[in-house]
Structure 1
């Protein structure tokens, strides 16, 4: 076993300028004990010979305050060389000791070396968090393009800039917290820019959006998944992303456009227009004014006004289907005639067209619950039949230029629809109908609240809309239509009033004592 020794040294010189080193008389007191104030402690350690048997240069390091500190370095060297008995591994560990001392002025961590030896990793490699995130992402096979794009965005925009340079095995909770501190600072800038009249500040925030709690949770989930893979490969021992606390990312409640909320939104739109120094386009003011909730739902009466306005649009049947049966935008765009049975009055949701950046992607619904059979009402059956007749006329008019894509809803030449175009047309129709703004996806939420108003429970809502769990339905649709909530309040009051009347009757039978008439003691 290699040996190590400790000794004291100093920088004193002779009159001729030669270093005294360990021979300096000030290093020891008169009794021979080491001086507690002069010089510093050093250690020397003999490394194992090279594979060819030649001697390595010994390690000499110093500048330590105490002999115990020097002894601890020798102990660490012994621990490193005792990690494995394999001669090849031991030789690589020795080379790692020499390289680390030369480049980083420290000894390697024994536990880190032990883990790398155990898992067969390269002892010299020190992978950064950024390198590992990209390695992890490259290894994720079979991801949808949208999911892949989301992961890549989390890494490129939020994780890599803050923690990408940190060694993976040295990533700490405080480092991950710094990611979300940076997001909060960015959010503050965006909010200040929106409220400011400073053109330069507004330009800095142009095109950016505030990152909400739900997105923060998704960013953390991306990092947590990547670190989980690193733990399984024994590159790290702790998933620090799991220890970071974030504000709860609750699903936004669906709120209905009541008259009070509509009036407040109109006042906010006027303030928005006046705050702008230039002329505001109607659509910018329409969609740019803040709403009471990210998820706003029209009342059935408002939905009826929209459908009346959209009747003349060539995609009316698509909007009708979403409003009546709650399909997702991508599911409606991806519906094929092969999955429509108007005789039985059902459609099968098997495909969807989703927006991925500037393009589109066709594929199956992302969850098993999304693939479902939806029963149609007679009115919706008639609308889809009328749409098929109009599409046949378009096919005849297009002739050989018609693309027989097989989709129910298409462009005028039969091409599949771009979901973004469908949303843009929806907003235009809603603005023309002088209705408060909702997203096309909120038309689906409206279908859910109408189901509740019709007396159906959350289980029916879950199955009709293709939600993966009833919890999602509960979290999103507990804010039901005002008249439904009002009726539930009246029903509850009626029960209590009935109980009170029954109580009065029992009192007249002498079974209830009137405290006012009871004798005092």
Structure 2
């Protein structure tokens, strides 16, 4: 979900038969979701939700390792391995098969289970412990529940995953399943039950926010909105645009700066970013070229406008600018032309 923006229900309904290792593609064909309070296996949310999602090498490697673990679980269960049965969107029972993500028994995952697991992981990333007894500002000890790492060090105090202060812990005394933290200085703020002590804790967000994060990264990196919309399974690019309009504005500014940097300009005095003069010789002769200056050529060519009765000089100047990538942009205009290049 975090890397590829797949919906929670689509993760639960993903199948090994939909995974093309060689093509690095996962085909989304179904999802396990609740509708009207009833859990079932439905078609994707929209017609465009039935889609192919390109995967990166790291994800493919993780899936391969997961498959080996699942095969071990299946071998241990034997004939009892069963993905389970769920109703489809017409109420007909469907025997689930070939699910990528299951419980060790082989049974399908509830969408809510994924959310719970994410919250458990987020709780343990950077967490020292959760306050179990209220602590007043100025005290030098704090009682926390299960301690997930050594207590010594400087830690941030969190309320609703928002920083409210910091403390330095000298050590801890184990009290059953709890730990009494000994502080180097008085507690700067009062702490309530449920407040947390840790370092760089993950915020408590919805699992669906991982999907939004994937889309935000893609758009922020300049990936075309059409590709992003297809990866997310949106019904149209307008849906994607409405959801991520704030990101598209910054992407638009980036595009404007890119175009501005790529196209050469001439100032009002006529100085250019580099010129090459092309002198056109009479018909049948190759044109002569001189680079690095902007002098007016004097090679005569027949003046067809006067019926060939005279000669006139015609010079085209080649304005060029070489981009860092080596591309060269060409703008040709007749000498004496006063209009700006378009």
Bigger helix fraction: 1
Question: TM-score of the superposition, structure 1-length normalised?
Answer: 0.32
Question: TM-score of the superposition, structure 2-length normalised?
Answer: 0.48
